[in-house]
Amino acid sequence: MQREIVDYEDYDYREFWSGKKRGYEHLSEIYALKKLISKKGKRFIDIGGGYGRLSSTYINLFPQTVLLDYSLKNLSVAKKELSKISKSKIFFVASDAYDMPFKNFTFDFAISIRLIHHLTQPQNFFDEVSRILTPQSFFILEYANKRNLKRMGKFLIRKGAENPFLIEPSMIGKNIYNFHPEFIIDKLESVGFKTLNILSVSTFRLTSIKKIISPEILSRIDNIVQLPLGLVKTGPSIFVLSQKRDEKTVEISSDAEKIPWKCIYCKSDIIDEKEDELICNQCGTKFPIIDGIYDFRKK
């Protein structure tokens, strides 16, 4: 498939998550991440972090945090809100998730929630995540599960055309992909990650149920069943905690004020930082810093 970037620049993603319509899903994801994120490491990255919707699960746990998204609009909202509450150093980076502007072995904890269902080349994404993470680092991935209870039920009673048991990803709507659990685990293993934990999240994502049970109560029930249902992986959203297998040691700098940048064009790591831009000393490319947001989007 051709590489495609889904840009939320002209879409109000915060509005999408506001109100009670998706309150249950939001709270369920908060519960899931709080189970999986541990205070282990020096440098954390939220890949596809949007406006920082899930930042309450990791803010202030690590000396340095990076929020990466392709949308400057989302990052501007995040910067305005998170700068008020962050006690650790936080960087806001506008970048393509297929080609992130960091040196190898930059981070020791990464999450990516509700991003991979937009990616036409998941293998390239997994390769890139593996590249920027240190040996023994942790990675939490969320994906849309094609083998969920609702889709399996519809298929078995012949009311759904899609076969949820096929391993290959399937497309629903525009630029949204569902993945089979075996496909995801295989991709993670192919880039050197072992699975530590799996949670089945927002299992009760039915309008009829959400109409009669409040998001707060429904998410608490979801919190109880996430781990046991993770064994059978039947929820519409699956969270996977994995760890990079590589045994060698790579020490991350303790300087929370600096990021080990990499030029996305010539791949040089000799980058000078000025007040309003980064400059690659090898190819001369300039990357603007717009209101405190590092812009690495390819023109």
Torsional sign, CA 21, 22, 27, 32: positive
Could you count the other beta carbons within 10 Å of the beta carbon of residue 57? 20
CA-nearest of 56, 31, 26 to 220 is 31
pLDDT (0 to 100) of residue 20: 81
Q: What is the dihedral of CA 124, 126, 131, 134, to 10 degrees?
A: 180
Pairwise pLDDT comparison (174 vs 218), residue with the higher score: 218
Indicate the range of 125-139, 212-226, 247-261 predicted with least confidence: 247-261
Torsional sign, CA 174, 176, 177, 178: negative
Pairwise pLDDT comparison (8 vs 27), residue with the higher score: 27
Separation of alpha carbons 12 and 182, rounded Å? 33
Q: Which residue, chain included where needed, has tokens 């930042």?
A: 55
- pLDDT over threshold 90, residue 5: no
Half-sphere exposure of 218 (CA within 13 A, CB side): 24
Half-sphere exposure of 178 (CA within 13 A, CB side): 20
**Cβ contact 6:175 at 8 Å:** yes
pLDDT (0 to 100) of residue 84: 86
- Burial of residue 58, with CB atoms counted within 10 A of its CB: 0-12 exposed, 13-18 middle, 19 or more buried: buried
pLDDT (0 to 100) of residue 118: 92
Separation of alpha carbons 104 and 90, rounded Å? 19
pLDDT (0 to 100) of residue 19: 79
Indicate the range of 19-33, 161-175, 179-193 predicted with least confidence: 161-175
Q: What is the pLDDT of the chain when averaged over all its residues? A: 92
CA-nearest of 101, 110, 114, 128 to 178 is 114
pTM summary value = 0.94
Per DSSP bridges, beta strands 107-112 and 43-47 are parallel
- pLDDT over threshold 60, residue 13: yes
Separation of alpha carbons 149 and 156, rounded Å? 10
Tokens, residue 181:
């659990």
Q: pLDDT band at 251, cuts 50/70/90?
A: confident
pLDDT (0 to 100) of residue 173: 73
pLDDT (0 to 100) of residue 7: 67
- Condensed to tens digits (0 to 9), the pLDDT of residues 208-247 reads 999 999 999 999 999 999 999 999 999 999 999 999 997 7
Separation of alpha carbons 229 and 248, rounded Å? 34
- Condensed to tens digits (0 to 9), the pLDDT of residues 67-114 reads 999 999 999 999 999 988 888 899 999 999 999 999 999 999 999 999
- pLDDT over threshold 90, residue 185: yes
Across 59-71, b (16+ Cβ under 10 Å) vs e yields: beebbbbbbbbbb
pLDDT (0 to 100) of residue 75: 96
- Chain centroid offset of residue 53 CA: 11
Indicate the range of 36-45, 168-177, 201-210, 244-253 predicted with least confidence: 244-253
